[in-house]
């Protein structure tokens, strides 16, 4: 009977460890709902008219935000684009010509982090949260 209890306890502990390892992958965090909500409002105010409600952009004018490498890749690239703007971009052989204005003076670090986190986790995208500290670090490295 004691062996059976010990076996059940060991199996229960092993199951908990496996569950924690598979649901909490290193380097990945689910975005907090508050950040997503704030980011959505910022997106609707400043980004939607060019990038559209579904993130698809406008062919040859404004780039899509749907599963592109600049959205899902290194977040510092997207931070720089939001902060400094961008003139001309090529994605998968398509050139987008409408310049994106810089939002660095309009959005603070938390707002920038929220809108980027929203974009990176909307329109079928799934990527890590962007923190205000990362935005600050990228802004500091650019100067």
3-state secondary structure 20-56: HHHHCCCCCCCCCHHHHHHHHHHHHHHHHHHHCCCCC
Q: What domains are there in the chain, each with its CATH number?
A: 33-142 (1.10.760.10)
Farthest-apart Cα atoms in the chain, separation: 74
- d(CA 97, CA 37) in angstroms, rounded, equals 30
Q: Percent of the chain at pLDDT above 70?
A: 78
Residue 22 has pLDDT above 80, yes or no: no
| Predicted local confidence at residue 107, as pLDDT | 97
Model confidence pLDDT, tens digit, residues 48-89: 999 999 999 999 999 999 999 989 999 999 999 999 999 988
| Predicted local confidence at residue 142, as pLDDT | 63
pTM for this entry? 0.76
Residue 1 has pLDDT above 50, yes or no: yes
Spell out a b/e string for 39-49, using b for 16 or more CB atoms within 10 Å of the CB, else e.
Answer: bbebbeebbee
């Amino acid at each position: 009977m004691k062996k059976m209890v010990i076996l059940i306890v060991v199996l229960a502990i092993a199951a908990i460890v496996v569950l924690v390892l598979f649901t909490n992958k290193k380097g990945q965090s689910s975005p907090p709902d508050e950040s997503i909500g704030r980011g959505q409002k910022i997106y609707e105010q400043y980004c939607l008219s060019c990038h559209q409600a579904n993130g698809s952009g406008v062919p040859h004018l404004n780039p899509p935000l749907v599963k592109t490498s600049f959205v899902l890749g290194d977040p510092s690239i997207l931070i720089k684009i939001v902060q400094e703007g961008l003139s001309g971009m090529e994605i998968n052989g398509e050139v987008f010509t409408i310049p994106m204005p810089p939002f660095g003076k309009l959005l603070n670090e938390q707002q920038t982090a929220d809108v980027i986190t929203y974009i990176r986790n909307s329109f079928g995208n799934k990527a890590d949260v962007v923190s205000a500290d990362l935005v600050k670090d990228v802004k500091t490295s650019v100067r």
